[in-house]
Chains A and B, each alone.
Chain A
Amino acid sequence: MAAKKIGKQTVKLQNPPSIIATASIVGPKEGEGPLRLYFDEIIEDEFFGEKTWEKAESKLMRETFAKVLKKANKTAENIDYIFAGDLLNQCVAANFGLRESGVPFFGVFGACSTMAESMSLGSLLVDGGFADNVVCITSSHFCSAEKQFRFPLELGTQRPPTAQWTVTGSGGAVISNKGGGPYITHITTGKIVDMGIKDVNNMGAAMAPAAIDTIVTHFEDTGFKPENYDLIVTGDLGAVGKEICDELIREQGYNISSVYNDCGVMIYDRKKQDTHAGGSGCGCSATVFAGFIYKKLLEGVINNVLFVATGALLSTTSSQQGESIPSIAHAVRISNSIS
């Protein structure tokens, strides 16, 4: 068996890379949410000075990239690779936003799980000695996502209570072979899981089984228990998916309730902000991680985090053809110490 692999789906990094900086930029609605004080920048309007939503999202990514380099005290020349992705068709937000970066680029798509997927791949590269510094970055934009996946913004429709609200924002992290942590120590790569949910307005329920599968597999592979974590955080299951995840993991013998949260639940005040089940999108887990979780790790308020970004791997065509929603969850263990 490969030297660094443990169990079925997990890699234990031998030279755990550090996350040396993160940056996040969010939209106005996220800027009114409970985590507003943790984001680096809050844009005033959703166009962000551009003419289209798509350009605005690209700009979000471009500016976040610039910001994270600056915070890491690096220039583009110091970065060996970028891993980036978003929700738009052909990942245009990442491709267009970073086309002038001049850095070797891996475009990745894992729907809303892209941030954890990028961080997994980036840290594998750094751990393996293939790169010194890697930037992982994702974005989503409420308006461009609505336009692509749902209805025009001005159409007067109601959403069901299980629907989620795509986060406008971009979050990025620099992963480096030098630095004093927080370290990425383990990576549990998710499998595609499909429990037959077809309701596109209930993504949390569609994605929860993937999160459960990855979290339980992580425990089995590593021998870690919920007590070994200060925070286990899923990407964007929202209120419905979070409850399902919590309950069904308990049925499998692990009680994570006291340390468990979900980025989609954390980012908005659901009652006041009318976001129904909570936030979603590539930018949801990315901004909550880059903004809130990373800062809490630096402060030492939390020391061991399992970051499990979740993605619904559907398209508008697949759902119109009546297909169910395959989902995935990728887990990254981040710790202030190397065990």
Chain B
Amino acid sequence: MQKTLTKKEYQKYVDEKSTNSKLLRNVIRAFVVGGLICIVGQFITNVLKMKGLGQDETASLTSLLMILIGALLTGLNVYDDIGRFAGAGSIVPITGFANSIVSPAMEFKSEGYIMGVGAKMFVIAGPVLVYGISASVIAGIIHFMLG
């Protein structure tokens, strides 16, 4: 079809017709919600420190509790609503990482615990782990070389 438009021209035409996401609004929402999640984390950290835990234990336990909150809110069908509102604000923190693992586990439970939950659990978090771990190994080697 389209004797008048080439593929390139059509792509350009489509780009003009398609509205983009509202960047400023999304950035503000991400900032606010992401900030709130961090405040919750800081609150947990402060409470744990008050209870007399050391720096390392506090950091680990805070991460664990944030993961628990993220997983729980995913299971309660709330985290996707937060995500729809906040975008990167709720994807980037560790609660978002929990969400990316729990949500496929829930979704693919119908295919069983091996090929469903087991195989699909890391379908979204997998790339993050692969490249995150790879990057840390490279950084470790450089650190070692530099003494």
Contact = CB atoms under 8 A, between A and B. Distances in A.
Contacts of A156: 74, 79-84, 86, 90-91, 96, 99, 103
Nearest to A52: B110
Interface string B45-70: 00000000000000000000000000
Interface of B: 1-2, 4-5, 7-8, 10-11, 13-14, 17-21, 26, 74-75, 77, 79-84, 86-87, 90-91, 96, 99-100, 102-104, 106-108, 110, 124
B80 A216 contact: no
Given A51-B110, A197-B11, A158 B1 contact: no
Interface residues of A, number: 35
A195 B84 contact: no
Contacts of B103: 151-156
Given A154-B79, A158-B83, A193-B1, A205 B110 contact: no
Contact of A161 (B4, B21, B91, B107): B21
A240 B83 CA distance: 24
Given A152-B106, A155-B80, A209 B18 contact: no
Contact of A212 (B1, B11, B14): B1
B4 A251 contact: yes
Interface of A: 51-54, 147, 151-162, 193, 195-197, 202, 205, 209-210, 212-213, 216, 240, 243-244, 248, 251-252, 274
Given A195-B2, A209-B1, A248-B2, A154 B74 contact: yes
B84 A158 contact: yes
Contacts of B82: 156
Given A157-B83, A209-B10, A240 B77 contact: no
16 contacts: A154-B79, A154-B102, A154-B106, A156-B86, A158-B83, A158-B84, A195-B2, A196-B8, A196-B11, A197-B14, A202-B14, A209-B10, A240-B14, A240-B17, A240-B18, A244-B13
A244 B96 CA distance: 37
Contacts of B13: 244
Contacts of B26: 158
A147 B79 CA distance: 17
Given A151-B103, A154-B106, A209-B10, 6 more contacts: A155-B104, A156-B80, A156-B83, A157-B83, A158-B26, A212-B2
Contacts of A243: 17
A49 to B, nearest CB: 15
A91 B106 CA distance: 23
B140 to A, nearest CB: 31
Contact of B124 (A151, A159, A193, A205): A151
